[in-house]
Amino acid sequence: MTKISMDLVKQLRDQTQIGMMDCKKALEEANGDFEKAIELLRKKGASVAAKRADNETNNGRVEGFISNDFKTGALVEVGCETDFSANTDTMKDFVLSAAAVVAEKNPADIPALMELKQINNPLTLQEALNEVIAKICEKIKISRIARFSVAQQGVVNVYIHPGSTVGVMVELATDKDASAHRDTLLATAKDLCMQAAVTKPLCIEASQLDQTLVEKERTLAREQLAGSNKPAQIIEKIIDGKMNKFYEEVCMLNQVFIKNDKVTVKAHLDEVSKKIGAQITVVNFIRFAIGR
């Protein structure tokens, strides 16, 4: 058996961030071949993943990526077994790398993403994930991905809530060129990201709600008033009021703006639109929350 120096073991440890004993074993199995040892450690990650395939991934991390021109953004959620692992630099770096690949290469789905190489790195996402698993020794998987890209005027921005268990991405459009007010648009998009992180809207406006859900809510309101002996027209007005309250809870534009409880989100957007001389529209938003 080839004698393995501690310097070589340390070099492998520094490159892979995997334990010294595992690095020593890999080098011994590879007869001192450094590249082969790295490959063996990657395979170990795949082996660990197979053994822990049935384990729950109730913890995890959400990270985002925004292009330099703020026209393209991505959000990625990765699940793992423990909160401790979710908060390691190794996990953070992997999720950030995955988000960059989603934004720049626009994979069709997660399996396609895993076959793509990282940005400025020859490893595919799957190979990189195997290395992470080999180091952390947990089941880890990319759970959800999302990508927004602005066609013309507008911006994309991302907000990651402290703790990285909630992330939101928002796409805004304007009806005319507002590039001179990009900072204002980015701040507005960030505010709406924070809005969605806190208030958990289901949609942007009421017309986007599932009508089955709307009818269920209206029926519930009607049942609550059954036997009240109120006139029919009064009952309908009360139901309308309850529905408006429902829309305020689940539709972003109807919600009270978190930075000014005197106005709705729509009123705030109208105010900013007037300031920059271009009408701002919320095109899309998505919210990822670990376990939800």
Q: 155-160 and 166-174: which strand pairing?
A: antiparallel
- Band the pLDDT of 16: cuts 50, 70, 90: low
What is residue 292's predicted lDDT score, i.e. its pLDDT? 72
Q: Where are the domains of the chain?
A: 6-51, 53-149, 210-250
- Band the pLDDT of 45: cuts 50, 70, 90: low
Handedness of CA 63, 68, 69, 71 (dihedral sign): negative
What is residue 18's predicted lDDT score, i.e. its pLDDT? 66
Asked whether residue 57 carries a pLDDT value surpassing 80, the answer given is no
What is residue 63's predicted lDDT score, i.e. its pLDDT? 98
What is residue 38's predicted lDDT score, i.e. its pLDDT? 77
DSSP letter string over 104-125?
HH--SSHHHHHTSBPTT-SSBH
Q: Please write the tens of the pLDDT for every residue from 117-161.
A: 999 888 899 889 988 888 888 889 999 999 999 977 899 999 999
The torsion of the CA quartet 135, 140, 144, 146, rounded to 10 degrees, works out to 10
Asked whether residue 50 carries a pLDDT value surpassing 90, the answer given is no
Between 54 and 30, the higher pLDDT residue: 30
Q: Please write the tens of the pLDDT for every residue from 190-244.
A: 999 999 999 999 999 999 999 999 889 888 888 888 777 788 788 888 888 898 8
Asked whether residue 181 carries a pLDDT value surpassing 80, the answer given is yes
Asked whether residue 48 carries a pLDDT value surpassing 60, the answer given is no
Q: Encode 101-116: b = buried (16+ Cβ within 10 Å), e = exposed.
A: bbbeeebeebeebbeb
Give the DSSP letter of residue 70. S
Poorest-confidence range of 2-11, 191-200, 258-267?
A: 2-11
The torsion of the CA quartet 66, 68, 69, 70, rounded to 10 degrees, works out to 20
What is residue 274's predicted lDDT score, i.e. its pLDDT? 97
Asked whether residue 166 carries a pLDDT value surpassing 60, the answer given is yes
CA distances from 235 to 86, 227, 243, 249, 284 (A): 51, 11, 12, 21, 35
Q: Give me the residues paired with residue 234 across strands.
A: none
Fold category of 53-149 in CATH: Tetrahydropterin Synthase; Chain A (3.30.479)
What is residue 2's predicted lDDT score, i.e. its pLDDT? 65
8 Å CB contact between 134 and 123: no
Q: Please write the tens of the pLDDT for every residue from 61-113.
A: 999 999 999 999 999 999 999 999 999 999 999 999 999 999 999 999 999 99
- Band the pLDDT of 31: cuts 50, 70, 90: confident
Q: Give me the residues paired with residue 280 across strands.
A: 174
Handedness of CA 132, 133, 137, 140 (dihedral sign): positive
Start-to-end Cα distance in the chain: 51
8 Å CB contact between 73 and 148: yes
Question: What are the start-end ranges of the H helices in 137-210?
Answer: 182-199
Of the candidates 157, 164, 39, the one whose C-alpha atom is nearest the C-alpha of residue 95 is 164
Between 51 and 86, the higher pLDDT residue: 86
- Band the pLDDT of 36: cuts 50, 70, 90: confident
Q: What superfamily does domain 6-51 belong to in CATH?
A: Ubiquitin-associated (UBA) domain (1.10.8.10)
pTM of the model: 0.81
What is residue 223's predicted lDDT score, i.e. its pLDDT? 84
What is residue 1's predicted lDDT score, i.e. its pLDDT? 54
